[in-house]
Structures are given as C-alpha cells and as structure tokens.
Structure 1
Amino acid sequence: MAKKNKVLRPKARKPRGFPDRSGAELIAERLMLERIGKVYESYGFAPLSTPAFEYTDALGKFLPDVDRPNAGVFSLQDDDEQWMSLRYDLTAPLARYVAENMDALPRPYRRYAVGTVWRNEKPGPGRFREFTQIDADACFAPPPHADAEIIMMFIDALSAAGVDDKDVEIRLSSRKVMTGLLEIIGLDPEDKGRSGTVLRAMDKYDRLGPDGVALLLGEGRKDESGDYTEGAKLEPGQIDSVLRFMEGGDMAEALSANRIGAEGTEELAQIISTLTELGYGERVKLDPSVIRGLDYYTGPVFEAELTFDVENEKGQTVQFGSVGSGGRYDGLIARFKGQDVPSVGCSVGVSRLLTALKSKSALPEPVSPVVVLALESDQMPRYHRMAKALRAEGIAAEVYLGGAGMKAQMRYADKRGAPIVVICGEDERANDQVTIKDLRAGKAASENIESREEWTEERPGQETVAADQLVPWVKDRLM
C-alpha cells in the first residue's frame, strides 16, 4: 500500500514584535485617536494620509549603503529595481509630500496624520516593530511662537485623551543649546561619531545619573550585564563642563558667548514666557537631558513624561515615563529642495499612552452591544427586526448566531460584555412581549443576594414588557 503524502501544515505563530490586537483595546484606541484628532482640528490642523511605503532614499536617515538596506527599516526592491521601505515615522513622508507639493500648499501648512509605522529593531517588553502614531506638524512656521503653540496643543491632546493634568510634565530643551555646548567644549557638532556619543550619554542622565554619564563621556562604561559601551574619550575638564550643564550649573554666560547657543537659549525663554502667560507654564520645565534620538531635529525638542508610578516587568516601582515627543526640524525638507523650511511637530505614542491610561483605569469605555437571544430558529427575522430597531436609535445591537442553547447564549453575552440581553421565546411571543435582562444591574444586585431562592424570586435587573416598549426601555437604561 502506498504511503499517504504527509500534509505539511504551517505552525500558527506571528513574527516577534508584531502584536495581535482586538476588541476593547482597538475600540479604546479609536476613541482616543478621535479625541486627539478633534483637538488638532480645533487648532486648524487638517488630516493628511501618505502611503505606508516610501522610496528608501526619501526617508533620509536610512539611505542604503549596502546591497539591501536594513538599518532600522523594512525594505524591498520594486520591479524597477528601486528600493522602497515601510515608513519609520510619519514625519519623513510629510517632508516628501511638502517638497512635492510646495507651490500649492498654504504657508504655514498645518497637518495631522494617524497611521501605522514600522521599525526593524529588536523587540522587547512594550517595544514593538509595528505601532500607531498620531502626529501634528506645522511647516513654513518659524520659531518660537509655532513651537509654543504645538506644545500647547500637545498638552491639550493628552488631556483630551484622558491624562490628568497633574500626571504629565513636558520636558523641554533645544538642539541649538546642545550644539552650543559641544562647540564650547571644543567638539565639532557635525562629527556624528564623537559628538553623537556625547549626546547619547547626556540622554541617559535620568537613568544613569552623573557617575554613569561621566563614564560614558570618558573611557566607557560596563553595565550590570557585563556589556561594555565605548565612551566619548573627553578630557576631565570637558566632562566637568557637560556635567555642570546637566546638573543645572550656570552655563548661561558661556552659552551667551556662543552664537547658536545664545539663539537657542533665547528661543526657549520666549517659549516658556508664552506658555506661562497662557496658563501652561506649570506643566513645562527646562531639562537638558532631553536630547531626542532622531538626527533631523534642529531647535527646541520636548517630551511628555507621565509622573505617576507603575510596576515594571521586574516587579519594581518606577515612573511610567514618556508617551510622546516632538521638536523643530528646519532642515528636513531641505534634503529635497536645497532650502530650509522651518517646521515643528509633535507625536503621541498611541500604544504607550493606551498602556498608561489602562494602568490608571482611565481608558475610554468601549460600547458593548445589546444581545438579542435566538431561541427559535424560525423566528430569526423577528429577532433581526428587534436588533434593527435598536440600531436605528443609535444603540449597538446584535442577534446571537451561534446555534447554541439559552445558557450558552447567556455565557456568550457575558463574554461580550453586553449590558442588556433581550429574550423572546414562545411564551413572550404568544403575549406580544419581550423579557429584558439588565446584566449590569443584575451583577450589582447579586452582591447583596445570599441565596438561590432569593435570586429566583427577585430576578434582579430583569423585566418583561410589551414588545413595542423594547426600544424605549433599553434607551432609558443606556442613554
């Protein structure tokens, strides 16, 4: 007898860093994005959608320097042998769009965008390769007033999303100030190697403190796992200057003697003055440890830091941290046109913010549907008419379609989080009635009922009404 060929079946698995998401999480995200989008629109920003793929050279930071570009982006080669990459953020596509449509756009050009972005990086706890951003940017908008406005809008957006004012702090700094500092200590800001190492060390100040940063500014540092990070090899005097700056020491005189540093300091002062006058000053503080990782920032940069405590994956109590950021990038569009276009924007980390709101029980409440039980197969049109009548009044409703008995249907409604169940069996139909169970009221009442007999007698949250009273009864309970 011939052997049967073995059927090869793929293993059901997903790639690392690409999460499956469903149900309440997606509904909460949609509601949150709608709230943030309304804030952006209230400031005069209009929506824009750009493709998921861009030509790789248009992304700027990730120009291919090998046969296949792989530094941080997912890429493929088109049939005309041009490299395309999934967008890393929503700002680089905006720069391409503005350059391509520059003559037709109003100035300033104010847009916001919602979309998925992809990063070809090592995934970890809370760190995904695919996630959603919602950005707002103003192009042809010089500092400092556009920067002050974008920060105000950023704060308003976080409040609309559900973040309590007392729980968020906007940390503000400037790349111009950093450039001035580098020049003062004798480094070339254009030297991405050594100067970049200094900036990356400064960015770790909150986590490592002055001693850890001093090691990274000097010869290098070995962490707890034994991994060694090469340092910037600064002289002791240079290290002291950087640490004095990070610790809030008086560097104003030194910066005032440096053109770019003085310019950055003055811009920050004007931004703080405007925010203070408009009632936002208490939520913003100057913080030189805010560096921002992307190379295209050229002026003020900021991060939104949530200040409440949470428990991390190791069981340690830590502050939640950043849920969004932004800054000025006057040179990004110049890659296409050869001329600077003053631009500033902000970006909310949607997944991070959802996690934060969940930890504070502040997520927008999703609306679960009323479930109409299907107890008689020949009465399905009747059940669908009930659900249709509820939907016509703006109430989410569905008919059970699984083919199970009443107990299983009730379990289904419970899993769906249904607030109300509609029952119309043979007895109800004969009397032109429906039985309605308010599952929320029943759950609340069950906490005070001590016996099955008491439960059966009282039937909390349950009522039988005339069929034509179904919609008014449900509306009264839900709306």
Structure 2
Amino acid sequence: MSDKQKKPQKLKARLPRGFVDRTATDIHATNEMVAKIREVYERYGFDPIETPLFEYTDALGKFLPDSDRPNEGVFSLQDDDEQWMSARYDLTAPLARHVAENFNEIQLPYRTYRAGYVFRNEKPGPGRFRQFMQFDADTVGAPGVNADAEMCMMMADTLEALGIKRGDYVIRVNNRKVLDGVMEAIGLGGDENAARRLNVLRAIDKFDKFGWAGVSALLGKGRWDGGVEGEGDFTKGVELSPAQIETLRATFFEEGRDSENSLANLEVRFANDKAVVAATNELSDIWKLVKSAGYEGRILIDTTCVRGLEYYTGPVFEAELTASIPNEKGVPVQFGSVGGGGRYDGLVSRFMGQPVPATGFSIGVSRLMTALKNLGKLGQDEVLAPVLVTVMDGDVEAMGRYQRFTQALRNEGIRAEMYQGNWKKFGNQLKYADRRGSPIAIIQGGDERAEGVVQIKDLIEGKRLSGEITDNTEWREARVAQVVVPEAELVAKVKEILEQQAEDRRRAKAG
C-alpha cells in the first residue's frame, strides 16, 4: 500500500495525568468562593497583585518537599537565551521576587493578595493534582508577631465568611524554630541530618490521620498501611531510638493539652535552649494577641502543626476543618487541612542582601471548594440557564426579528440565546432547551408574526404539569404553561415568569 493510500492516524484526545477540565458549575462555584475570600482580605486592608505563571528557576529556589523527580518538583523549560524558567509551584516565591525587584517603589508594610494556579511536577494520585488554585495574602516588611496573629485571625474570618461554623474549624499555630530546636535536642541537627529531619516532620504531620501509634511506627521501624504487620504497603520509618521517640511524644503529643499547657510544657522542657525559648515567647505573644481579640477557641497553639515548605523561618499556621464532612460517596470523613502559611523572613532577603521580614497565608481553593460543596455551602445559588429564542423560519428577515427579541432580553439583564442549530427540526430545539435547563422558550411562527405576537413557554412549570397529563390529545389541548403576548410585552412577561420561578425556588428551599 502506498503512502497516499494509508489512512491518517486519528489523534487521540487525552487529558494529561494530574490535570482536570473544569465545568461551568465548577467555575461558577470557584468565582462565588473567591469573591467571598476577596471581600475578607479587602476588609483587612490587602490589595491585589498578579505575578506571571512562569519565573526564572533560580528565583523560585529549591524549597519544595518531595523533590524526588528529575526537575525538582517543578515544570521547567529553557528560553531561547538558554535561561531556565519554571512554572510557579506556589504564589509566595514569585511575590518575593516582585518585592525585591520593586523594593524602592513599594510602601512597607506591603499588604497584598493573589489568586491563581500553581503547578507541581509530582506523581498524581487521588485528590493530588499537578495544577491547582491557591489564594494567598501576605504582609512584607512587618517583623512583629502581630502580623502573624492577624493572618490567623483573617483566616478564621474567611472560613466563617464561607459558611464554616465556629467550632467546625481550628487554626493551629506552631513555630519552625521550636521544631528545629527539638530536632537539635534529639541529635538531628546539622546539614547531614536534613533528610531525617524532614522525615520526622512528615511523620509528626500524620498525627491527625494515624494517631500516636501510627506516628510512633513511622518514627521507628516503619508502618504498614493497614496498621497491622503484613497488611498493605510498608513505609520505612526514620529509625529513631526509643528515647528519641519518647522525647517527641512528651514534647508534642501528651493528651489533653491546650494552648497554655503546650506553652508551659515548652518553657519547662527547653528552659536552657535560647532558640526554643525565643520561639516559645513568640508563640506566647501570638496567643495573647488572639485571646485579646476574641479568637480563643478558634486559634490554637499546637506543637504538632508542621508545614512542608522549607522556607519558613518562624511562626507557622494551618487551617483545619474539624467537623466530619461527607466525601463524594456521602461517607463522613475528617477533611483536615485546607490552607496554611507562616513567616518566611529569608525569602525576599535572598535577592536583597538585607533582612526583609514577611508572613503570609495560602488557601487551597480547589480543596476547600470540595469541602464546601460537600457541606452544601457552595453552588447553592444556581446560575440560571438562558432563555431560548427558538427559530421557526430561516430567512434573513425572520432571523433578524429573532435576534431583536434576544437582544431586547439581554439589554434588560436577562440571559438569552437564539437557537443556532438546525432550526428545521423544532422538536430538537425544545430538547436542547431541556438539556440546557432553559427556564423559558420564546416561539414565533408565521401565524404569530402576522398577528405581531409571540408565544412564551414556561418550561419549568410545563415540566411540572406534564406529569399530570395522561395522553397526547390532553397535551395538545392544554398547551401546557404557554401564554401569547404582543411583541412589545415580551420582555415584561419574561421578567414576570422568571420572578415567579425564583419565588417557587425560594419556597422549595424554605421547606
């Protein structure tokens, strides 16, 4: 067979692993959620800024955890001048570059927020994507812990603005210097122990998921996924000694500890460690600030709070949903973290050669949106599908008239579209309206045009009434939920029907 006779290979449509297509419903829900977050951030005096999706790779730095892939967890490409660029893996490193580059023009403290997609070149899995949205707020140029405390309070206010009830979430606060001091105390200081320290922190971070028994196993020989030897996959442990594990348990995991007990425990155990004492004092000041502002119970000093990114230098915080939330299968689960952040005083300084204090918070928009949807807190206000202007005649004059009806509706703020498919099969137009969820169909054939009127079909009411009709004759005679009005009254009648439909929805929701 000649090359000319060979059939061309059909291109296979494939979504890249770790990425998702977003539907109109997802986008509307995201917009609704982002608007509520933005309102809180604006109320706190933060202003928006936007940085590009790509940065020079050296500007991003190597701060990602789990950097076990060839290009260190990021997607990279080489520019035509042989400089390496990478897709941003968070919104904080690009902000640090922006601040350094524009340091002489910006006003300190610099209070900004940003929303956008970030990219991680990591192995995808259930609930773990390579592209996801974050919404950050940062204060650059404020060295005091009052800026960290304010971040935690703003996060609490944001969750409540999104419909999470007080008592169904907690903002946990720790200090990276406490974690570093404890690592030093158990003999894991120094660069040579960096990998083991990271594994210890990862094990501590699993407490909410596995409890102390699971964490202890991960700190020791290792843990089987099923919790029992031989059950599931085996995760190799850090292989700490029993004495080291006991120090970690007594420092982080004693039962019944509240914020003040946690602080007192640190003060007693590390009274001779200047770095831990200083970090404990910072936590104590944060606690006093949040208490005086009335956030006790919403914000908690918790030494088990661990943040994975390596650029944190002081207080770290994490927002956790504590209520049981139905998953996609309707099974209640502990949802866990939906955002976090901390102080990163060294990130801007990399560019400046001088200290530049900074602190910030990042909300995992995609993850939090899942929780809110499962709680019924998001996407409840459905975006109304457009009114459909049907087409009964395809000549230019008729089409112009149908387009005029459509524009008249749009000019009054009503979503509307004129049917653009094969107009000769009218039944297909009503099927299209049904699939779209259109609330109303506008119909004008030759007879209606001669009389200067239009038919307006209430598709919502028609669907309800159709269940009460037993045969085709009855259907034709009933002309279900259909009215005829002069062309001049079209918009007013459509508005009236839409308002009645909205009232019916409100009554249905009210029970």
Match of 1:218 in 2: 220
Secondary structure of the residue aligned to 1:377 is: coil
Q: RMSD between aligned alpha carbons?
A: 2.7
In the alignment, what sits opposite 2:99? 98
After TM superposition, give the deviation of residue 220 of structure 1 in Å. Answer: 3.1
2:194 aligns to what SS in structure 1?
A: coil
User: Which aligned pairs between 1:186-265 and structure 2 lie closer than 5 A?
Assistant: 186-188=187-189, 191-224=193-226, 227-248=233-254, 250-265=265-280
Aligned mates of 1:357, 1:175 — CA distance in 2:
30
Q: Identity of aligned pairs, percent?
A: 52
- For residues 64-83 of structure 1, the aligned pairs below 5 Å read 70-83=71-84
* Cα separation, partners in 2 of 1:464 and 1:269, compared to 1, 3 Å: farther
Q: Is the 8 A contact 1:184 1:254 kept in 2?
A: no
Q: Deviations over 1:112-155 (max 9, x none)?
A: 11212111111112211112222111111223211222222223
1:464 aligns with 2:484: yes
- Is the Cα–Cα contact under 8 Å of residues 62 and 72 in structure 2 kept in the other structure? no
The answer to whether the Cα contact below 8 Å between 2:153 and 2:295 also exists between their aligned partners in 1 is yes
Structure 1's consecutive aligned runs of 4 or more residues displaced over 6 angstroms after TM superposition are none
Contact 1:62 1:73 in 2 (8 A): no
Q: 2:439 pairs with 391, 399, 419, which one?
A: 419
C-alpha distance 259-473 of structure 1, shift in aligned 2 (>3 A): farther
| Local SS of the residue matching 1:281 | coil
Report the CA distance between 1:348 and its aligned residue.
Answer: 1.6
**2:377 is equivalent to residue 371 of structure 1:** no
Q: Partner letter of residue 96 of structure 1?
A: R
Q: 1:328 Cα deviation (Å)? A: 1.5
- TM-score normalised according to structure 2 size: 0.85
Whichever residue aligns with residue 483 of structure 2, its letter is: E
1:38 to 1:316, Cα distance in 2 relative to 1, 3 A: closer
Q: Write the distance in 1 (CA, Å) between the matches of 2:43 and 2:330.
A: 41
Range with bigger deviation, 278-287 or 234-243: 278-287
Corresponding position: 1:437 with 2:457 = yes
Residues 35-434 of structure 1 correspond to what in structure 2 (within 5 A)?
A: 35-61=36-62, 70-188=71-189, 191-224=193-226, 227-248=233-254, 250-310=265-325, 317-364=332-379, 365-378=382-395, 379-404=398-423, 405-434=425-454
**What displacement does 1:74 show?**
0.7
Gaps of 5+ in 2: 258-264, 500-511
Structure-2 change in CA distance of 1:226 and 1:411 (3 Å): same
> Number of paired residues?
475
AA of the residue aligned to 2:310: D
More displaced stretch, 453-462 vs 40-49: 453-462
* Distance in 2 between residues matched to 1:266 and 1:464, nearest whole Å: 76
Q: TM-score, normalised by structure 1?
A: 0.90
8 Å contact 2:326–2:374 — kept in the other structure? Answer: no
Amino acid at match of 1:205: F
Map Cα deviations across residues 39-58 of structure 1 (whole Å, 9 max, x no partner).
22222222111111111111
Mean Cα displacement is larger for which, 459-468 or 42-51? 459-468
Q: Give me the whole-angstrom Cα distance separating, in 1, the residues matched to 2:385 and 2:190.
A: 55
1:108: how far off? 0.6
In terms of mean alpha carbon deviation, does 387-396 or 268-277 score higher? 268-277
Give the letter aligned to residue 157 of structure 1: T
On the 8 A contact 2:152/2:299 being kept in 1, the answer is no
Q: 1:399 to 1:96 in 2, by over 3 A?
A: same
Q: Give me the whole-angstrom Cα distance separating, in 1, the residues matched to 2:72 and 2:461.
A: 55
SS state at 1:321 partner: strand
Task: For residue 126 of structure 1, give the secondary structure of its aligned residue in structure 2.
Answer: coil
- Measure the CA separation in 2 of the matches of 1:457 and 1:164: 52
Q: How far off is 1:96 after superposition?
A: 0.8
- Matched residue type, 1:397: A
- Please state whether the residue corresponding to 1:242 is helix, strand or coil: helix
Instruction: Output one character per residue of 1:135-187: Cα deviation in whole Å (capped at 9) or x when no partner.
Output: 11111122321122222222333333444445433222221222232233343
My pick for the range that moved more, 350-359 or 131-140, is 350-359
Mean Cα deviation higher: 166-175 or 40-49: 166-175
Q: Is the 8 A contact 2:327 2:374 kept in 1?
A: no
CA positional deviation for 1:396:
1.6
Aligned amino acid, residue 123 of structure 1: P
Residue 13 of structure 1: how far off its partner (Å): 1.0
1:6 Cα shift? 2.9
Structure 1 portions without partners, runs of 5+: none
**Is the Cα–Cα contact under 8 Å of residues 222 and 238 in structure 2 kept in the other structure?**
yes
Write the deviation string for residues 405-425 of structure 1: whole angstroms up to 9, x where unpaired.
222112212222222222222
Further displaced range: 420-429 or 102-111: 420-429
